[in-house]
């Protein structure tokens, strides 16, 4: 399918806003939205291969689409893990059978994915994975626990990093498995309640869960190579779209500062200007590195920049409102969940920005070791 904007696409922004206004929730409606995008071929436009029901687009076109989607205030995507992480990984490392089986449902918005990487004892240190997978005939039997698994409560499938060699240590003996989530009694998903009152992350318990041998990606014991390849797909065009959302948040905070009189404070004005200038710097840095390869430190630098910037923005959001920021948008009731407004959500949720996706400490270690060539941090025996 060729990439081109049509007359129908011109009303995309209006339709997206109408969708947000008409649908309060999440799961079922987000899944329907994924199917709407898939039916029009808008899922997978950045894949290096077509033929799976997706349009194909050049880098500039991908940026245009991502930024327009963000400006439209279109619904948050629930299929981005399958589209932007799993699919490029399968195209790079999967068999033709795996690509034929899994990519069309992703492109159609029919199957949603989650990522089974982090564990209670192996969050930032991914090589410490202890979840085990034992081969039994045509299946692997998986036992262990994953945590901070985004959208696991909605996902149909999970790609799981598990240890298939019981005597292995660190990054050796790991395998990358595609696991169906609909396994009652073998897979349990427990939502994690966040400070915002929502539960986007989950604990996932595998108790003898099964994955077919043909759903092993890259070969047994090659999971670390596949997993690291996947992490490289996390950055890119989506960073620029993310910054459109950041700009919308900053604009809202500036308007609030003017309305409340906080903008008359020279210290607040200086902070607002700094946020604006740093956001512009992040955009130019993202454009500079877009489509590049071989710069091991670029993703870590970008993560450090935006995570800390966004945290400071959350702090600024409540500062410009003064005491009013401590009260919710509706009267509190012990019989109903508490509600928070967008500024309060920004402040609370952004506390996690410097932790998830690789903590600040991990990003600085990557830069120190892989870019500056400093001695490696001791991690125990291999």
Which residues are tagged catalytic?
A: 234
Question: Hey, what are 197's tokens?
Answer: 């009152």
β-pair type (201-212, 157-163): unpaired
């Amino acid at each position: 399918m060729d990439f081109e904007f049509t007359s129908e696409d011109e009303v995309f922004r209006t339709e997206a806003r109408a969708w947000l206004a008409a649908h309060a929730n999440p799961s079922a409606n987000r899944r329907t939205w994924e199917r709407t995008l898939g039916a029009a071929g808008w899922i997978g436009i950045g894949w290096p291969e077509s033929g799976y029901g997706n349009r194909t687009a050049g880098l500039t076109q991908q940026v245009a689409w991502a930024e327009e989607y963000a400006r439209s205030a279109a619904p948050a995507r629930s299929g981005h893990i399958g589209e932007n992480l799993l699919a490029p990984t399968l195209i790079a490392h999967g068999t033709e059978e795996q690509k034929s089986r899994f990519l069309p449902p992703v492109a159609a918005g029919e199957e949603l994915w989650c990522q089974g990487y982090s564990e209670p004892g192996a969050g930032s240190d991914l090589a410490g994975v202890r979840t085990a997978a034992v081969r039994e005939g045509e299946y692997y039997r998986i036992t262990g626990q994953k945590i901070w698994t985004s959208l696991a409560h909605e996902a149909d499938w999970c790609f799981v990093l598990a240890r298939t060699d019981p005597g292995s240590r660190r990054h050796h003996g790991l395998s990358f498995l595609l696991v169906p989530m609909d396994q009652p009694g073998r897979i349990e998903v427990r939502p994690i309640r966040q400070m915002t009152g929502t539960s986007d992350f989950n604990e996932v318990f595998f108790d003898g869960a099964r994955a077919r041998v043909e759903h092993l990606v890259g070969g047994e014991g090659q999971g670390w190579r596949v997993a690291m390849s996947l992490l490289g797909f996390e950055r890119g065009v989506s960073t620029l779209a993310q910054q459109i959302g950041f700009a919308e948040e900053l604009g809202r905070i500036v308007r609030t500062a003017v309305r409340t009189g906080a903008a008359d404070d020279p210290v607040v004005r200086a902070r607002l200007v700094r946020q604006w200038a740093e956001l512009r710097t992040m955009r130019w840095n993202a454009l500079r590195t877009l489509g590049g390869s071989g710069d091991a430190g670029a993703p870590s630098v970008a993560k450090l920049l935006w995570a800390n910037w966004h945290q400071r923005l959350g702090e600024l959001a409540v500062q410009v409102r003064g005491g009013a920021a401590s009260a919710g948008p509706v009267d509190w009731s012990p019989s109903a969940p508490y509600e928070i407004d967008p500024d309060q959500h920004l402040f609370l949720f952004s506390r996690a920005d410097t932790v998830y996706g690789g903590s600040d400490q991990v990003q600085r270690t990557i830069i120190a070791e892989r870019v500056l060539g400093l001695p490696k941090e001791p991690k125990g025996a291999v």
